[in-house]
Structure 1
Amino acid sequence: ILDPSTLTINTRDTIALQTIQYFDGLGRPVQTVQKGINPRGYDIIKPVKYNDFGLDTLNYEPYVDSTHAAEYRPGFEADQPAFYNALFGDGNGMSPVTYEKSPLNRVMKQGAPGAPWQTGATCHPVRFDYLTNNTSDLKAVLWKVSGNTCTYNNFYEQNQLYVTKTISEDTAITFEFKDKQGQVVLKRSVLNAATNADTYYVYDDFGLLRFVLSPEGSAQITTSFDTTNILAKRYVYAYNYDSRNRIIAKRIPGKEPEFYVYDKTDKVVLYQDGNMRKYSGSTKAFEWMFTKYDALGRVIMTGITTQFPSQTRDAVQTLADGATYKCREFISYSGTTRPSDNIYYSNQAFPAYSSTNCTLLTLNYYDSYNVYLSGSATPVAILSNSGLTLTLPATPDYQPELKYVSGKPTANFIRYNNYMLQSATYYDVYGRVIQTCEQNQQGSMGYDRFTNLYKALTPNILKKEHTHFSYLSTPYPTLGDVTEYTYDASGRPLTYSYTYKFSYPYPGTSSARKIAYTYNTLGQVKTKQVKDDANLMQTVDYAYNIRGWLTKINDPATVSTTGDLFGMELFYNNTDGSVANKALFNGNISGIKWQTV
């Protein structure tokens, strides 16, 4: 930490966001008021209204009231539609729901904000219907599991499956079939009157998912099969489990099987895919990726081991089950108990780590900085200013609060080619990262330092400084950049500025690049101004519809007269003759119109 003041919290800049929730006599929430959360400091209110059965059938969207009262608004039934009508020319600021007229209260129609998405006969809500299977248009193949074989058993008998029919806003139809245990056995998408895309899910007697037949697999596979079947290799997902219901093998289409080995606490300690089953001539030279954990289940190291070059997965699992090792590692400060590889973990968990048959990929430390690193006799306390040297600080002012790092990662190594790049992360008393120092691609000859300054007690970063050091030449060149942010009272970013700094061979500082944001009354980005120092370079305008979907970036019709460099209009449910698009109501973009200078 170069400047101890970066650890100081300005509590006078503390932000308090107030939310008030009102309840009726039955304890149901009827209104939520967020005080002053609007960009202009107004309250945002979300009302709830129940019908005689206690159901919220309207689902009001939040609206803005131009006061700071932070009190219950009894006039929301008139105020909320008026707000949306003034903002979008559409007073339907709610997502209505139509329920089935039965004690089941199943949803029949699900609307959304905006007149086109209400639940009327000519609108485009999502519709639901609840059926059962049959032997004609709603028939489903009955797949069963026998060992490692998926057996074809004709079709389900009539009325054995619950079927939920969903009709999207654009009338696309899907069916979901569930058995009496609530397991999804089939998802069907209707492509046209003659063609369906079926995805089957096959379970064993324990309710474990064993096979997933993709739509192409469902179309081509019409008999029993196992994982050696060529069509199954192309189109079927297959899963195997052990007696403890742990997945031990997985096959996805077009890929060789992946294997997993577990310790006695059910954590994956070894993993192997098809690329790791290597051969040296005709001799097996299998590799496994190992993972080791500490007593809290946190990953402390990963790597590749070759100590099981020819064993099958089951054979390696037997070794893991019979190992006398413990299922955790701990920091060992004693030279008599720690391994000779200078990783300073106890090496008591399966598989045993040795530099002769293991390649370390990552190494993680937690909870403190008092670990010894390879080639250093000094505990990690803090990184000095001159490089990634492990030294103790000159004064305690620079020392991070060690008692606040419990449970947090502190030091880390990642393999880059044949070198382990090291990094350290430091926190303030609130657990926020205040600095990260890490070696870069130059190894011991260079490092990067990232420092954060926060706004009061919030997670919002006010200033972020990055410095890149290199010792490959003299004098040592340094490159860096400083990013600064400002926020409104609700934590929305207002400005973002970027300055590039460099020292050698051409010392200087670039002009600041600055971006400023403004927001509409709902808190959506309204404009973005791009500046070079104090000079305005470009203003980008954004527009949205009542669903919150982006409709315009600037205006392509006025690019040539407004000074904008680019303009684009997005179409959804609205059409344009010059685009010749078809109206879509499900949120997909149906057309784009754009223009540049």
Structure 2
Amino acid sequence: MFKFKHFYTMGILIAGTLSSHAQIILTNPVTEQNKSVTDPYSIRLLPGFNAASPAVNSFRASLGVSSNPNPTPNNYAPNPTASISVNENYVYSRTYLAPRSSSDPAAPQQQSISYFDGLGRPKQELSIKFTPNGQDLVSDIPYDSFGRQVQSWLPVPMNTLNGNIQSGVQAAARNHYKKADGSTDPLAYGEKILENSPLDRVLAQAAPGSDWDGKKIQFQYQANADGEVYRYTTSTSWSNNATVSVLGLSGTYGANSLYKNVVTDEDGNSTIEFKNGQGQTLLVRKKNGSENLDTYYVYNEYNQLAFVIPPLAIDKGVDTTLLNELAYQYRYDGQNRLVEKKLPGKDWEYMVYDKQDRLVLTQDGKLRQQNKWLFTKYDKFGRVAYTGLLDSAPGRDAQQSNMVNFGGNNEERSASGFAQNGATVYYSSSAYPVINFTLLTVNYYDEYPPGSPAVFNGASVLGSNPVNGRSTKGLPVASMVKNIEDNGWTKSYTWYDDKARPVATESQNHLGGYTRTSSVLAFSGVPTSTTTYHKRDASSGEMVMKEDFSYDHQNRLVKHTHQLNGGPLEVLTENIYNELGQLESRNIGNGIQSIKNEYNIRGALTKMNDPKNLLNKLFGFELKYINPQNTSKKYNGNIAETDWATQSDGTLRRYSYQYDGVNRLKEGNYWDNAGAASGSYAEKLNYDLNGNITGLQRTGQGAGLMDQLSYTYDQAGNSNKLIRVNDASGNAAGYPVGGNTIVYDINGNMVNHLDKGISNIAYNYLNLPSSITASIGNTDYVYRADGSKVRKVFGSKTTDYLDGFQYENGVLQFVPTAEGYYDLTKNKYIYNYTDHLGNVRLSYTKGASGGAEIIEENNYYPFGLKHQGYNSNSLANNTYQYKYNGKELQETGMYDYGARMYMPELGRWGVVDPLAEKMRRHSPYNYAFNNPIRFIDPDGMSAQDIIKINAQGYVQEIIPQEGAHVVQDMNGNQLELNDPVNDQKQLQALVDYAGTMSEYELQDAEVRLFTPYSSKEMSDSFNKLGIGDINNTARSLQAFGEQSLIMTPWMLYMGWLGHGDFDFAGEMSALVQKTDNAYNPIQGGGATPPDGAGGFIKFEGNNTLYNVYDAGNFKTGKAFQLIGAPLDVLKNGANTSSILTGKGKDSAADQQAITNGYNYNRVQWKKR
């Protein structure tokens, strides 16, 4: 007869005993035969555990060496040799990670190859031995019978053939990728359905994954119906040398007079865009069920954007008061420059330009009340020299006249300089304005200013005098930033190696101390070691922090160690990657915790450990998209549910989410398996058309009503300014009972919040709070002119923020690390579990027994208010208050995001978004598009995007995100922009263009961001020019007097080359046009589009993107280097040429591109 056996080793903790140490928790029935579980510390058997099934046979639990050990990284080191299919067309590239020499021809390298068919189309892409185990990562590129790429297959790891073309790629992909239930997924590709016409317009687009089968993004191309779109008009006059447009309404557009494009996402949410025959967007309509959210764009008689009318203002006429509260208004001068603008709820802002069309003066409403202007001065290359505040009463038109009559407006470097606000500035002070100003920031380029310190670590660095043609010319070398509230200065210096890479920095703070960093860079440019030296002030002792970084054969970070003041070496993290290059596991804190990540077929994170089966993990977290238990599936990228559990009590907790038709969070409903009432910790919200919250219901522990908030807005609801909050719950928890009036200043800043005991908030010129007067105590802030917070004084407590080192009353409390922080009061490393939003959920450290010990747990309502009533014990350093989104919680209850303060109990900001124009259909006070489960707001500014691209430059996904646009490859590596100002405009145009196809993301290669340009292509281009003959001619002419003061034949020849054979801008422009790397909305006139337009070029082995002009400059720099022209002569000549040909001075980006091209070392050419 079968007899079931149980083995329980003495010492197992009794089920239900609480512990904050890492241990194994068992909450589910055992289903495996002869299951054995071991842990060095403790095992807990909680309700739900059962091992009585006859199918189990036996179950053993014991204390000892863990049966769930941490994963270990793979130390694979590939042989870099390759064997290429010689009967195929291909482009083969190598990126060396270490210098190649005759003694080591097979230096570590990254290798990739693209195979092409007979028509020149890519058919297969391989990253050779890319994976941690040395497999090839292969992407198949098929075409339909019309030669169109309608399927985009996901990359798949395959046993390496050393670069040979792979077969059976699609079958391998189907076997590799899994559905949510764990079975193989036959739909390992994205697909689009194209219109059967020469236009090849996209009709439908499906992302990879059988779980999304039948859920496509739909595209419709129509014309408008009669009466569907209002016809707004303007009547424009001229006042103070600017356009003044008056808005009018002239009925509606007739049928078939506008283009109508409809995009419907996977969840059936529609966006409709109407354009006129000039391509101008007139209306963007979002559908929320039967409700329309309309944003109108109105142009004046000169085709300039004059008004943007957001949804809340539609159907309410064109009343001036309404427009001032809700609309965006713009005015222009006779040179088509924006000179006045008005954002919703703010006073007018003014702009003044110099003769070179550079923005010199700006003024908002508060500055106008003080008769002040913000000014910017430039050098002759258009680089910002210094900025400040000007005391001057005249208005915009008078200031513009002063600017026009001023003459030359470039700053020059000066050896003597001038004294201002406690600093000596080594510029001429010859640009406007010259008197009555307060200095704020100073920037130095090319050479270090007098009094600069020598590089502290004795490293060999670039100087201002060229050595082997290399110097700091064109590089930023030093800067000074003043405190806004006093004359304290922060002075920063940067030193570069001979490849113009920063290797040392020094920041001298306003207290007299410093923070110095010294970096050791690998051949590929990644840091292998960084040492930081820090002193609070001149009398403090120096702290030394050393970090080391190790990488695998593809330059993926595999180990990061940390050491403080020569103490024990701490392994902060050890990273393990899966065969797709995704971060699969991380061993944290010398291995006291391991975090295992899981992803779905789309690459989205789905788990950080398993909350249903914690084992010895302290925290588990799951994101559900299409597999929720308590709500509907979400196919468009919204998150349906989140589950989590911690070792504090082992309880599985869950939030289920509901959204409206424009993806705003409507409900966040809580559940746990410990029997808590289903209504606990819930939030339910209502919104107006602009996304302002009109009602918020919040429950506490046990489903009791905590808040029943109603929001009242100014102008009888025709405003974004919240003026009153009433709480019908009668419960003071959460938000107070309230009812007091909220007041705003002329810039739209909230200046009191009496419900929270705040009687006054004073702001500086950056609209950051300089002081807060409150019943709990007053707070004073000190900011630098760049917006960085350097000091906070609350009562008797003074907090200093010095380059991440945080002090309280002069005593260092902690210093942040990549995985948490080092607590100086406990002399311990503290580690943070953070979720997908960066919320700090659980903090832990190494306990006395050697295992992980929980010191704090934080859980949050959807909009950021912290849960109360469970797992609230804290052993953390009270000065470490970084919690929701990883931001610092202030004594007022607001979170400091850098640019603004956030109020989690209200779910909104108290200050207008500094970048409100980037998201004009939304209220400038709303938080994260009212979707705080999916989006984050790292600095309190408007949402931008992460643009994911593949190796050929095609956009794969656009992830809405805060801050500037970021370009990443599919492995998460960030690509740099050579010209961040103009290139950001190009990226915005691309996002606008791609966004009409999909509001959230692209899953296949529809839009090309850059065109790859290999070193072989460049070499072939130079050889075709006959560069060997050019070199011979140049060398001969050079012998006749390169350094002569007169125009020598050599100098004339150089100039002729720069305007002839060595002018590559047109070639780069033609290249991006040929490869579909250009977009109609941003096309410039002529053969070569202007800076920032027409797509990008990415040179082989280079991680920087260049627009077509800068790509031309890059190639020009290389061409002149090949014929022996000195770099400084080349750069000066290029700048002079640009001036003489009427294009103005070279920008810093132009000069940088020339320098980078000059130093590019991948080109070979045939000498003659």
User: Normalised by the shorter chain, which TM-score bucket?
Assistant: 0.7 to 0.9
The equivalent residue for 1:528 is 586
The C-alpha deviation readout for 1:483-514, integer Å capped at 9, x for no partner, is 2111111111101112222xxxxxx6255242
The C-alpha deviation readout for 1:407-452, integer Å capped at 9, x for no partner, is 111011110221222121001111111111111241xx31110111
Deviation at 1:44, TM superposition (A): 1.2
The equivalent residue for 1:27 is 120
Within 5 Å, give how 1:288-437 maps onto structure 2: 288-306=373-391, 308-309=392-393, 311-324=394-407, 326-333=408-415, 335=416, 339=418, 342-352=424-434, 354=435, 357-369=436-448, 371-372=449-450, 376=451, 380=452, 382-384=454-456, 398=460, 400-402=462-464, 403-416=470-483, 417-437=486-506
Q: Quick one: which of 264, 274, 296 aligns to 1:167?
A: 264
Deviation at 1:73, TM superposition (A): 2.0
The C-alpha deviation readout for 1:58-97, integer Å capped at 9, x for no partner, is 1112111121421222432333323325986212111100
Q: Quick one: which of 220, 239, 245 aligns to 1:129?
A: 220
Question: Compared with structure 1, are the counterparts of its residues 264 and 519 closer, same or farther at alpha carbon in structure 2 (3 Å cutoff)?
Answer: same
What amino acid maps onto 2:99 in structure 1?
A: T
The equivalent residue for 2:208 is 113
What amino acid maps onto 1:465 in structure 2?
A: T
Within 5 Å, give how 1:443-592 maps onto structure 2: 445-455=512-522, 457-473=523-539, 476-501=540-565, 509-532=567-590, 536-559=591-614, 562-576=615-629, 580-592=630-642
Tell me the distance in 2 between the aligned counterparts of 1:554 and 1:384: 44
What amino acid maps onto 1:420 in structure 2?
A: W
Q: Quick check: 1:203 aligned with 2:288?
A: no
The equivalent residue for 2:250 is 153
Aligned partners of 1:109 and 1:127 also within 8 Å: yes
Question: Compared with structure 1, are the counterparts of its residues 480 and 344 closer, same or farther at alpha carbon in structure 2 (3 Å cutoff)?
Answer: same
What amino acid maps onto 1:296 in structure 2?
A: F
Aligned partners of 2:462 and 2:500 also within 8 Å: no
Tell me the distance in 2 between the aligned counterparts of 1:128 and 1:252: 33
Aligned partners of 1:448 and 1:469 also within 8 Å: yes
Question: What TM-score comes out, normalization by structure 1 length?
Answer: 0.84
Deviation at 1:314, TM superposition (A): 0.9
Tell me the distance in 2 between the aligned counterparts of 1:330 and 1:196: 55
Tell me the distance in 1 between the aligned counterparts of 2:183 and 2:555: 26
Deviation at 1:24, TM superposition (A): 1.5
Tell me the distance in 2 between the aligned counterparts of 1:88 and 1:166: 32
Aligned partners of 2:128 and 2:160 also within 8 Å: no
What amino acid maps onto 1:530 in structure 2?
A: I
Aligned partners of 1:382 and 1:399 also within 8 Å: no
**SS at 1:449 equivalent:** strand
Deviation at 1:340, TM superposition (A): 5.8
Deviation at 1:479, TM superposition (A): 1.5
Question: Compared with structure 1, are the counterparts of its residues 158 and 252 closer, same or farther at alpha carbon in structure 2 (3 Å cutoff)?
Answer: same
What amino acid maps onto 1:274 in structure 2?
A: G
What amino acid maps onto 1:359 in structure 2?
A: T
Question: Compared with structure 1, are the counterparts of its residues 470 and 96 closer, same or farther at alpha carbon in structure 2 (3 Å cutoff)?
Answer: closer
Question: Compared with structure 1, are the counterparts of its residues 189 and 472 closer, same or farther at alpha carbon in structure 2 (3 Å cutoff)?
Answer: same
Q: Quick one: which of 229, 236, 258 aligns to 1:140?
A: 229
Question: Compared with structure 1, are the counterparts of its residues 88 and 441 closer, same or farther at alpha carbon in structure 2 (3 Å cutoff)?
Answer: farther
Aligned partners of 1:401 and 1:429 also within 8 Å: no
What amino acid maps onto 1:251 in structure 2?
A: K
Q: Quick check: 1:38 aligned with 2:38?
A: no
Question: Compared with structure 1, are the counterparts of its residues 73 and 207 closer, same or farther at alpha carbon in structure 2 (3 Å cutoff)?
Answer: farther
**SS at 1:404 equivalent:** coil
Sequence identity, in percent?
Answer: 33
Q: Quick one: which of 312, 318, 329 aligns to 1:216?
A: 312
Aligned partners of 2:129 and 2:135 also within 8 Å: yes
What amino acid maps onto 1:571 in structure 2?
A: K
Tell me the distance in 1 between the aligned counterparts of 2:190 and 2:461: 53
Aligned partners of 1:404 and 1:427 also within 8 Å: no
Aligned partners of 2:189 and 2:207 also within 8 Å: yes
Tell me the distance in 2 between the aligned counterparts of 1:151 and 1:197: 20
Question: Compared with structure 1, are the counterparts of its residues 399 and 57 closer, same or farther at alpha carbon in structure 2 (3 Å cutoff)?
Answer: closer
Tell me the distance in 2 between the aligned counterparts of 1:102 and 1:329: 57
Question: What TM-score comes out, normalization by structure 2 length?
Answer: 0.44
Deviation at 1:346, TM superposition (A): 2.1
Question: Which runs of 5 or more residues in structure 1 are unaligned?
Answer: 1-8, 279-284, 386-392, 502-507
Aligned partners of 2:403 and 2:432 also within 8 Å: yes
Deviation at 1:381, TM superposition (A): 5.8
**SS at 1:79 equivalent:** helix
Aligned partners of 1:401 and 1:428 also within 8 Å: no
Aligned partners of 1:88 and 1:545 also within 8 Å: no
Q: Quick check: 1:11 aligned with 2:11?
A: no
Q: Quick check: 1:83 aligned with 2:176?
A: yes
Deviation at 1:15, TM superposition (A): 4.0
Deviation at 1:344, TM superposition (A): 2.0
Tell me the distance in 2 between the aligned counterparts of 1:569 and 1:273: 46
What amino acid maps onto 1:197 in structure 2?
A: L
What amino acid maps onto 1:57 in structure 2?
A: V
The equivalent residue for 1:180 is 277
Question: Compared with structure 1, are the counterparts of its residues 213 and 261 closer, same or farther at alpha carbon in structure 2 (3 Å cutoff)?
Answer: same
Deviation at 1:31, TM superposition (A): 1.5
Aligned partners of 2:386 and 2:441 also within 8 Å: yes
Q: CA RMSD in A?
A: 2.1
Aligned partners of 2:559 and 2:571 also within 8 Å: no
Tell me the distance in 2 between the aligned counterparts of 1:545 and 1:77: 18
Aligned residues: 526
Aligned partners of 1:515 and 1:528 also within 8 Å: yes
Q: Quick check: 1:240 aligned with 2:331?
A: yes
Deviation at 1:155, TM superposition (A): 0.5
Question: Compared with structure 1, are the counterparts of its residues 406 and 15 closer, same or farther at alpha carbon in structure 2 (3 Å cutoff)?
Answer: farther
Tell me the distance in 2 between the aligned counterparts of 1:159 and 1:471: 71
The equivalent residue for 2:371 is 286
